[in-house]
Amino acid sequence: MRAERGFDSVSMREAIDSGKFIITTEVGPPKGHHLEEMVEEAEACRGMVDGVNVTDIQSAVMRASSLVGCLKIQQVGMHPIMQMVCRDRNRLALQSELLSAATMGITDVLCLTGDYTTLGDHPDAKPVFDIDSVQLIQAAKGLMEGHDMAGNELDGEPPTFCLGCVVNPGAEPLEPQIMKLRKKIDAGADFVQTQAVYDPAVLANFMEQAGDLGVPVLAGIVMLKSAGMANYMNKFVAGVSVPKDLISRMKETESKVQTSIEITVELVNGFKDLCQGIHMMPLGWNKHVATVLKECGLA
């Protein structure tokens, strides 16, 4: 199932090889089977981003799959990045889905371990966690070499993937995050997208401590929608810290959208010289991501 129209951006592999400053954004499939709004949200950034992450049962809340979301994004001529978590499938199903994605021309994959099921809307669901994100990257690399995790040869030409992973620059202590990140890169990760960062100093410290990773790092930004949202993240999202001055600005503003855009522009400009790209997590605000990128000169 291929897009009838041509792609309006390069793939992640092409973006990495070009050495350009990489921009990605994110959409989430709905809790239903109508994906038109998700596609429209992605198209708000048409021509401005190198890839569109499609979340995989994000926060353990049941919804349509990342794979079908990627197919819909691909059909309109944009490059999807398929997120894949280890929480819900064993190694058989994960490898099968990777092959299925490759069959459809979906080759950019972000490998994650996944949130625990008790955080979602089906807390009684049994988690799988047969393998973790490092092993998932290794499994994908094995498929690219022509064999599965059991050493069995694949039929025909092996697939090609561009593999991503995540890291939390604000984690304390930071060293375990860097150690696991290096394992992911050694396993075959081609790019890194970070958890949300709201302070250039935090990102600068991470980049200094991590040293030369050999792969591009895309700083993650969740656009703030309210002071309450910022306080919630500070309280419940490990390793994410929204500075008090940003919370005050969101609390006191008469236009939360405009202030959020201004804060995001400041963050992007503050991150530009520290990393190799930006990963936007707009939570339904991709039309405002377009404004941010234009104001930062990245459109």
Query: pLDDT digit string (tens) for 216-269?
Result: 999 999 999 999 999 999 999 888 999 999 999 999 999 999 999 999 999 999
Tokens representing 32 are: 């239903």
* Torsion angle of C-alpha atoms 220, 225, 230, 235, degrees rounded to 10: -90
| pLDDT of res. 299 | 77
Tokens representing 121 are: 């809307």
- Cα separations (Å) of 41 from 28, 36, 138, 240, 264? 10, 9, 32, 25, 18
| pLDDT of res. 6 | 65
Give the mean pLDDT of 63-89: 97
| pLDDT of res. 3 | 40
Percent of the chain with pLDDT over 90: 94
Contact by Cβ (8 Å): 27, 53: yes
Residue 127 confidence (pLDDT) above 50: yes
Please state the length of the chain.
Answer: 299
**Cα torsion angle, 248, 251, 257, 259, sign:** negative
Residue 196 confidence (pLDDT) above 70: yes
Residue 170 confidence (pLDDT) above 70: yes
Q: What is the C-alpha to C-alpha distance for residues 44 and 39, in angstroms, rounded to an integer?
A: 9
132-154 residue pLDDT tens: 999 999 999 999 999 999 999 99
| pLDDT of res. 167 | 98
| pLDDT of res. 1 | 37
Give the mean pLDDT of 93-97: 98
- Residue ranges of the domains in the chain? 12-295
Q: Where are the alpha helices (DSSP H) in 126-226?
A: 133-144, 175-187, 200-210
Terminal-residue alpha carbon distance, the chain = 29
The residue behind tokens 């995050």 is: 177
Backbone phi, then psi, for 24, in 5-degree steps? -130, 155
Q: Which CATH number fits domain 12-295: 3.40.50.20, 3.20.20.70, 3.20.20.220, 2.40.50.100?
A: 3.20.20.220
Tokens representing 53 are: 């992450």
Residue 55 confidence (pLDDT) above 60: yes
Q: Which amino acid is at 145?
A: E
Q: Which of 6-10, 27-31, 156-160, 256-260 has the lowest mean pLDDT?
A: 6-10
Q: Count of H helices and E strands in the chain?
A: 11, 8
Q: What mean pLDDT is reported for the chain?
A: 95
CB neighbourhood size of 36 (10 A) = 9
Residue 212 confidence (pLDDT) above 50: yes
174-190 residue pLDDT tens: 999 999 999 999 999 99
What is the Cα 270 distance to its own chain's centre? Answer: 20
Percent of the chain with pLDDT over 70: 97
Q: What is the C-alpha to C-alpha distance for residues 195 and 55, in angstroms, rounded to an integer?
A: 14
The helix (run of H) or strand (run of E) holding residue 83 is strand 80-85
